[in-house]
Amino acid sequence: MTTKAAGCVALVVLGLSFPAAQAPSGKVAVGYCTGLANLEAAKAAGFDYVELSARDIAALPDAEFEAAAAKIKSLAISTPAANNFVPGTIKLTGPETNPEQQNAHLKKTLARMGRLGTQIVVFGSGEARRVPDGFSKDDAFKQLVDFGRRAAEEGRANGIVITIEPLRKQETNIINTAAEGLALVEAINHPNFQLMIDFYHLASEQEDPAIVLRAKDRIRHLHVANPQGRVFPAKWEEFDYAPFFANLKKIGYDKRISVEGRTTDLAAQGPPAIALLRRAFQ
């Protein structure tokens, strides 16, 4: 099967539920970030789990959600992480925010993801958090702190940790670096609100990979893509991955890493990306 959608491949060393992923050679389970339509393709390609869009799951009518949950269970694919937390129609900064609307989304989304066994929900949502022109960045940061605390509480109720994803400036205008993400995590100061680092965005912002060392106690999830084209990584020499992974090894990182990049041939390009990442942590 050929897929042109952006996707992500993830590695995890922890045991997972709904259902439990079987890690190859007892070390890591490998998953693929995709939509519900590609569950069978992901399994056929050899992935152990899928990472779905929380926003899309929340938008399903009740009957379709129940059918999706049943299908995931019947295919024996676990869903330990999700992305696309908040749609752009729900504003998190600026004068037009609606906390009641935000809370309704939090409650529905995190309850559904909790039912699917999701443990990490990535908070990228660049459009939702984009600060309107003329609005104070300091006030917007305070709004994100307030939203993050509410999200963390709802996450705790559902066994989920929210992880802020720093995004390059082309995608949003607030929390563009891991250092800024760390500042938000520290301001929120809640165990269910932590940090993830996307190598693609870190490279785009030319941020020093040494941030991994400073943020070591807060990092709960990772994304990676070959910054040259935002495609699946294939070869170690195609980009300077070494400093980033060296720092991850220094801090003993042992959680998940997700490839969030384009692929034109999942069956052909998935296995090399998985193998590359496994070698990177050896």
To which CATH superfamily is domain 6-280 assigned? Divalent-metal-dependent TIM barrel enzymes (3.20.20.150)
Give the pairing of strands 261-262 and 6-12.
antiparallel
pLDDT in tens, 47-69: 777 889 999 999 999 999 999 99
pLDDT in tens, 102-127: 999 999 999 999 999 999 999 999 99
Residue 6 main-chain phi, psi, to 5 deg:
-65, 145
pTM for the full predicted model: 0.90
Q: With contact defined as beta carbons under 8 Å apart, do 44 and 76 qualify? A: no
State the amino acid at position 106 in one-letter form.
L
